[in-house]
């Protein structure tokens, strides 16, 4: 009985081993199958980020002239009268100090024709940048842009231009700040100009003693407009001034005898105007100076007449702001008795109207 009871166990033992081997093989095959069907991770694909939105337009000052740099500030602006408008369509380009190896020299103000109808002149200006004074050249454009806040007079009071405006294809002149002969120029108007800037003769922006001014949002927009460079006549005007020793500040003490001309390059023509305190220009043996503060003078309203920096003993009365320029021209000045100068004083001679 005992032998018979152990025999079935011996017979089942090999079967159990086979079952274990099958189970192990199944598990191993399953692992192999799972390993065989595993899908590798996809390779990373680079996606470029979207481009950034365009930056808002920023103000950029007119390009500075690399040859117009100085380590000393330009002299104060001289006081002088404006020659009368030579004809319809001319625009005023105020005088300014330019730089040469010999020092500062005066570029006389003058009447110029714009390159085309509708353009206005933005004067150049000196600005203190990075320890030096740099000149930002003037340009033509549809609007008058930033010119350093410098008060050049004759409608350029530091911001914008009040000396005239385009009306269609014709330019109209503001008699209150422009020397215009209404018998010759008929396209005029009279608009009082209120000057809210400090009255001085400072000729540069920034630095020690310079004008403190920055471009407005509107002037920043104007800076992005298409601009036209000075005309060939304007460039020749500057070149001629650079060759005239009498216009050097060191030779005229800041009072050039040729402060303004009736036309570009007309340095010896009748109608040339000298600065107050200067000797008479070559073509001006006789002439007439409009009263200070009246139309055609770049002396601010209310500023006393001076001679060599001191109040003039024979200063003429000023016309009230806004009075038509024609009132200053009712009678021919040369037909009126001229006041006698006091001893030791000499009244500046200026252009005949």
Cβ(143)–Cβ(220) below 8 Å = no
Whole-angstrom distance, CA of residue 245 vs CA of residue 100: 11
Provide the CB-side half-sphere exposure for 164 (13 A, CA): 28
With tokens 């209150």, the residue in question is 176
pLDDT at 45: 62
- Residue 171: strand pairing partners: 166
Residues 6 or more apart from 306 whose CB is under 8 A from it?
Answer: 79, 276, 277, 312
Task: Give the rounded distance of the alpha carbon of 273 from its chain centre.
Answer: 26
Transcribe 57-87 into DSSP letters.
P---PPPEEEEEEESSPPPPPPP-BPPPP-S
Phi, psi values for residue 319, rounded to 5° = -80, 150
If you count DSSP H runs as helices and E runs as strands, how many of each does the chain have, helices first? 4, 16
pLDDT for residue 48: 62
The contacts of residue 233 (CB under 8 Å, 6+ apart) are 112, 113, 264, 265
pLDDT at 93 (0 to 100): 98
Of all helices (H) and strands (E), which one includes residue 15? Answer: helix 2-37
Residues 163 and 92: beta-carbon distance below 8 Å: yes
pLDDT for 55 equals 46
How do residues 161-193 score in pLDDT, each as one tens digit? Answer: 999 999 999 999 999 999 999 999 999 999 998
- Decide: helix, strand or coil at residue 30: helix
Q: Give the per-residue pLDDT at 1.
A: 46
Residue 215 CA to residue 200 CA, distance in Å, equals 20
Residue with the two structure tokens 């107050």: 276
How is residue 194 written in tokens?
């209120």
Query: Does residue 137 contact residue 96 with C-beta atoms inside 8 Å?
Result: no
pLDDT at 329: 37
Cα end-to-end distance, the chain, whole Å: 157
Half-sphere exposure of 139 (CA within 13 A, CB side): 22
In angstroms, rounded to a whole number, what is the distance separating the alpha carbons of residues 84 and 237? 18
Rounded to whole angstroms, the Cα distance separating 292 from 300 reads: 8
Tens-digit pLDDT string for the chain (353 aa): 444 555 555 455 555 555 555 555 555 544 444 444 555 666 666 666 666 655 444 444 455 554 589 999 999 999 999 999 999 999 999 999 999 999 999 999 999 999 999 999 999 999 999 999 999 999 999 999 999 999 999 999 999 999 999 999 999 999 999 999 999 999 999 999 876 556 689 999 999 999 999 999 999 999 999 999 999 999 999 999 999 999 999 999 999 999 999 999 999 999 999 999 886 665 443 333 443 444 555 654 334 334 333 333 333 333 233 333 333 333 333 333 333 433 333 333 333 33
0.75 surpassed by pTM: no
What residues form DSSP beta bridges with 129?
Answer: 132
CA distance 139 to 156: 14
Which residue in 108, 144, 138 sits closest to 123, CA to CA? 138
Asked if residues 128 and 210 have their Cβ atoms less than 8 Å apart, the reply is yes
pLDDT score, position 145: 97
């Amino acid at each position: 009985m005992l032998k018979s009871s152990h025999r079935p166990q011996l017979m089942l033992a090999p079967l159990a081993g086979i079952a274990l081997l099958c189970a192990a093989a199944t598990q191993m095959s399953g692992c192999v199958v799972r390993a065989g069907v595993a899908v590798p991770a996809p390779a990373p694909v680079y996606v470029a980020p979207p481009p950034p939105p365009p930056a808002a337009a920023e103000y950029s000052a007119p390009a500075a002239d690399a040859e117009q740099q100085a380590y000393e500030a330009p002299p104060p602006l001289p006081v002088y009268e404006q020659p009368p408008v030579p004809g319809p369509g001319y625009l005023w380009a105020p005088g300014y100090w330019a730089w040469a190896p010999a020092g500062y020299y005066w570029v006389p103000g003058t009447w110029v024709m714009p390159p085309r109808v509708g353009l206005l002149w933005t004067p150049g200006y000196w600005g203190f940048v990075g320890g030096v004074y740099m000149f930002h050249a003037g340009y033509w454009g549809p609007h008058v842009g930033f010119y350093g806040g410098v008060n050049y007079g004759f409608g350029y009071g530091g911001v914008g231009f009040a000396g005239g405006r385009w009306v269609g294809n014709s330019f109209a002149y503001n008699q209150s700040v422009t020397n215009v002969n209404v018998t010759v120029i008929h396209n005029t108007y009279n608009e009082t100009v209120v000057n809210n800037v400090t009255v001085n003769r400072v000729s540069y922006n920034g630095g020690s003693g310079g004008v403190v001014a920055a471009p407005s949002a509107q002037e920043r927009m104007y800076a992005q407009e298409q601009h036209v460079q000075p005309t060939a006549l304007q460039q020749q005007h500057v070149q001629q001034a650079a060759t005239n020793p009498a216009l050097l500040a060191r030779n005229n003490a800041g009072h050039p005898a040729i402060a303004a001309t009736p036309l570009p390059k007309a340095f010896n023509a009748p109608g040339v105007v000298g600065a107050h305190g200067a000797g008479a220009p070559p073509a001006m043996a006789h002439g007439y100076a409009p009263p200070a503060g009246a139309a055609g003078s770049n002396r601010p309203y209310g500023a006393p007449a001076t001679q060599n920096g001191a109040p003039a003993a024979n200063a003429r009365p000023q016309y009230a702001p806004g009075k038509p320029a024609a009132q200053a021209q009712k009678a021919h000045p040369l037909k009126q008795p001229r006041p006698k100068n006091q001893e030791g004083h000499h009244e500046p001679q200026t252009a005949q109207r």
